Amino acid sequence: MPTITVPLPTTPYTIHLTELSRIGELVRPLIPGRRLVVVSNPVIFGHYGEPLVASLRAAGYTVTTCLIPPGERFKTLKTLQTIHDHCHQTRIDRQSGVIALGGGVVGDLTGFAAATWLRGVAVIQVPTSLLAMVDASIGGKTGVNTPQGKNLVGAFHQPRCVLIDPTVLATLPSREWRSGLAEVIKYGVIWDKDLFTLLEHVPHLARQPKVPPEILMELLTRSAQAKAEVVSKDEKESGLRALLNYGHTIGHAIETATHYRTYTHGEAVGLGMKAAGQLAARLGIWSDSDAARQAALIAAAGLPTQFPHLDPDVLMQLMQGDKKVQNDHVRFILPTTLGHATLHDRVNPDEVRAVLQELVSKGDQKS
């Protein structure tokens, strides 16, 4: 089974692509104490809790579980408090550890609970959604949402290891699968051309049960490798890590303009990548044919391709983050060739507006 190293200078760790039931033997050398808390939600724990806990108990741990309600709206300080309370009741000390079994919501919350309990205890990430496997569980960003905004309160806290069991994706809702594919496509465009080409050749990409296990393994390995490489070269997000925001500038604006109700994060990122690709082609830094290949792949992944009826000026304002600055230059990650992208600080807002206008009006015609 493949492993990937995240070679951070002070806290290197391994991503294991293997069966859930191996968790006990993998954790044993990493967490010396006897007590562990597994944090999950009832749905995911119902599917996978038993083999996970059994494996940890067989490795000699005393295991308790802390279940939190599913959903982004519970990624709050209040839920964090619930996890801290559980750590207190079960006497989690610095020799003990916390296991996150779930999607990005469980992973971010549990990681932040581990970062803050006793000023930091060990956390193991066991991601169960595609997005968490290829993105959220790797790189050590943890946090919660507050009334001020998403992920504004948090900490960098690297896991001791990450265990990815691809078979758990069998129960992932199909919309979540397609949304996660947006981040996989992102790695193909910004970092790994072979991954992009591989994705183009997956029959029935949008339907997870139809993707052959060996291809699924390759998609996961390449994506996790891309994230691991980027974060280990830039742990605290000063430069290179910004590449991971490809498709996110416009994507976030779409999520905000639609009040996080219409699109999942991945769906908005898919639209954002389409727009960024078109912008790069318009500016002459990316070929029309590569931009068209990207658009075709986004469609093959079952992600929305038609832009919603949104005012391009509203999107521009959201991207610039300040309603007063109408004509400021916007920061964009733009592809130059497949597998390579660069940061552009001074994109002319008129060019961005023109691309948005075109996409919005095309969306209108079709709807």
Ligand X SMILES: NC(=O)c1ccc[n+]([C@@H]2O[C@H](COP(=O)([O-])OP(=O)(O)OC[C@H]3O[C@@H](n4cnc5c(N)ncnc54)[C@H](O)[C@@H]3O)[C@@H](O)[C@H]2O)c1
Catalytic residue numbers read: 119, 141, 183, 227, 237, 241, 245, 248, 252, 265
Q: Map the footprint of ligand X across residues 50-79, applying CB under 6 A.
A: 70, 72, 75
Residue in the structure block whose two tokens are 């969306």: 363
Stretch that binds ligand X, among 39-47, 194-202, 271-279, 343-351 (CB under 6 A): 39-47
Is residue 131 near ligand X by the rule CB under 6 A?
yes
C-alpha to C-alpha distance for 245 and 144, rounded to whole angstroms: 19
For 5-95, where are the alpha helices, taking DSSP H only? 23-27, 42-58, 77-89
Conformational region of residue 64, where left means phi above 0, alpha means psi within -120 to 50, and beta covers everything else:
beta
Question: Bridge-partner residues for 335, per DSSP?
Answer: 341
Is residue 90 near ligand X by the rule CB under 6 A?
no
Is residue 136 near ligand X by the rule CB under 6 A?
yes
Is residue 176 near ligand X by the rule CB under 6 A?
yes
Q: Give me the least distance between CB of 71 and ligand X, in Å please.
A: 6
Is residue 41 near ligand X by the rule CB under 6 A?
yes
Of residues 222, 164, 233, 239, the one with CA closest to residue 14: 164
Q: Which amino acid is at 280?
A: A
CA distance readout (Å), 233 to 10, 140, 143, 229, 337: 12, 13, 22, 6, 21
Q: Of the candidates 65, 96, 110, 129, which one interacts with ligand X according to CB under 6 A?
A: 129
Stretch that binds ligand X, among 57-65, 93-101, 165-173, 280-288 (CB under 6 A): 165-173
Residue placing its CB nearer to ligand X in the complex, 22 or 47: 47
Residue placing its CB nearer to ligand X in the complex, 83 or 352: 83
Q: Of the candidates 24, 97, 139, 272, which one interacts with ligand X according to CB under 6 A?
A: 139
Q: Give me the least distance between CB of 348 and ligand X, in Å please.
A: 30
E-strand ranges in the chain read: 3-6, 13-17, 35-40, 62-67, 97-102, 122-127, 141-146, 149-156, 161-164, 330-337, 340-347
C-alpha to C-alpha distance for 72 and 144, rounded to whole angstroms: 9
Going by DSSP bridges, is the β-strand pair 97-102/122-127 parallel, antiparallel, or unpaired? Answer: parallel
Question: Bridge-partner residues for 101, per DSSP?
Answer: 126
Q: Give me the least distance between CB of 350 and ligand X, in Å please.
A: 31
Is residue 105 near ligand X by the rule CB under 6 A?
yes
Q: In this structure, what token pair is assigned to residue 257?
A: 């303009």
Compute CA 158 distance to the chain's CA centroid, rounded to the nearest angstrom: 15
Is residue 133 near ligand X by the rule CB under 6 A?
no
Is residue 247 near ligand X by the rule CB under 6 A?
no
Stretch that binds ligand X, among 8-16, 129-137, 192-200, 210-218 (CB under 6 A): 129-137
Stretch that binds ligand X, among 50-58, 124-132, 207-215, 283-291 (CB under 6 A): 124-132
Interaction site with ligand X (CB under 6 A) = 41, 43-44, 47, 70, 72, 75, 102-106, 108, 128-129, 131-132, 135-136, 139, 141, 151, 168-169, 171-173, 176
